[in-house]
Structure 1
C-alpha cells in the first residue's frame, strides 16, 4: 500500500517524526472536544471523530517507519491518560457514551500490542489491518447505526442495529482488501482472506461489552489475517 520511507536514524529525525504524530493526535482530540463543548454535537459523534482520526496514525507510523518502541511508549502513555480520564473527567465529550465503557483505554492498548507484534518482523500491514478495521469499521458502523438503524436487535442487554452490523462487515472487508492489495499477490490473500476478517470482526463487535471490542476486534482481525496467510500462503 505504501512505499516505505527508510527511517532516518538521527535524533533530530526521530523527534521530528514523534512530533508529527503527537501534533496530529493532539489536534484531533482537541478538535473533537471543542466540537462537543461549543456546539450541539453529541458525545458519540465527538468520540467517533477521535476514534476514526487517531486510528489512522498507524498509517503515518508505517509510512515513516517509526521505531516500535516509540509506538509502544505512545500506547502506554495514551492508555494511562485514557484510564485517568474515566476517573477525572477532563475529556467528557470523548469518554461519555451513555454506557459503561473503557473503549478508549482498550483502543490505545490494542495499538501497542499490534505494534509490538508486527513491527519487528516488518509486517506492518497486519497491524494496519487490525487497527483500521476497528477505526473505520466500528467507527462508521456506530454512526450509521445511530442515523439509519431501523432494524434493532439485542445481545447481552446491548441494543444494536443490522444496518450498523452490515456497515461493519462491508467497511472491514474494504479496508482489508485495500491494504492487502498493495502487499500480497494472489486472489486468496487479497480478496478472499478479508471475508473471514470482516465476518470475525463483526461477530466480535456484536458480542463485546464495556468497550472490549476496541481490543478484541483489532487484535483478532490482525491475528486472523496473519495466521490464515500462514496456513494458505499459495492458494
Structure 2
C-alpha cells in the first residue's frame, strides 16, 4: 500500500494535489496492478479461469486496507463501487473482463463483490468504524478465495448442499482464515479480550455457513455484509452488556 502512494509521489508533487485525488488515484492504481497481474498469469502460467478469478478476487479485495489506511472519503469508495458494478454487469454481456467471470457456472459473484464493498464503506465509514467494513471484505477476500482454491486443488472429502458440491477441506479453510482475519482486526481495535475471541469465532462459523449455502455467487454479498454486521452487533451488545 505504501508502494502505491510512493509511486504516485515519484511522479507528482502530492502536496499540491487535493488529497481526495491522491486517494482515488492510489485505489485505482492498486486495482489496475491486480488486473495486470491476473492478465500476466493468464498469459504466462495458467489457463484455469478459477485461478485467474481468485487472483483478482484476493488482490482487489485488499484495496479496502488501502482505503482504511488512507482514510478515503466514503464518496470515493461508493463511486468506485458503482463504477465497478456497472462494468461487471456489462462484462456478463461483453468481453470486458475475460477470464474473470468465466468460471464454468452461472454466477454474479463479481457484481455482488463490487456492491458489497460500496455498501460496507457507506455503512461503516459513516459510523466512523471502518474496521468492520475491512473485516467483512477481508473475510470474503481471503476466506472465500483460499477456500475455493483449496477445495478445487486438494479437496477430497466432498458433500452436497442444495445440489452444489463442496469439500470439507475448503470449508475448514474458510472457517480458519475467517477466524484469523476477524480476530486480527478486532484485537487490534478492541484489545485482547475474551469477548473479542468469541466474536471472531462466531463470525468465522457464520461466514462459513453463508458461503456453504450460497448460490449464483451471492456469497460475495452475504458473507462480507453478514460478517461485518454480525461483528458490529455482537461488539455493541457485549460492550453494553
* TM-score normalised per structure 2: 0.90
Correspondence list, 1:94-173, <5 A: 94-173=100-179
Counterpart in the other structure of 2:51: 45
Q: Which runs of 5+ in 1 are unaligned?
A: 1-7
Measure how far apart 1:9 and its partner are.
11
**What is the rounded CA distance, in whole Å, between the counterparts of 1:137 and 1:69 in structure 2?**
27
Counterpart in the other structure of 2:96: 90
SS at match of 1:92: coil
Does 1 or 2 have the higher relative contact order (CA < 8 Å, sep 6+)?
Answer: 1
Measure how far apart 1:185 and its partner are.
2.7
* TM-score normalised per structure 1: 0.93
Q: Which runs of 5+ in 2 are unaligned?
A: 1-13
165-174 vs 189-198, greater mean Cα deviation: 189-198
After the TM superposition, list the runs of 4 or more consecutive aligned residues in structure 1 that deviate by more than 4 angstroms.
8-11
Indicate the RMSD between aligned Cα atoms, in angstroms.
1.7
**What is the rounded CA distance, in whole Å, between the counterparts of 1:61 and 1:14 in structure 2?**
11
**What is the rounded CA distance, in whole Å, between the counterparts of 2:118 and 2:189 in structure 1?**
22
1:33 touches 1:94 (CA, 8 Å); kept in 2?
no
2:187 touches 2:193 (CA, 8 Å); kept in 1?
no
Does residue 228 of structure 1 match 2:219? no
**What is the rounded CA distance, in whole Å, between the counterparts of 1:9 and 1:65 in structure 2?**
17
Counterpart in the other structure of 2:208: 202
184-193 vs 64-73, greater mean Cα deviation: 184-193
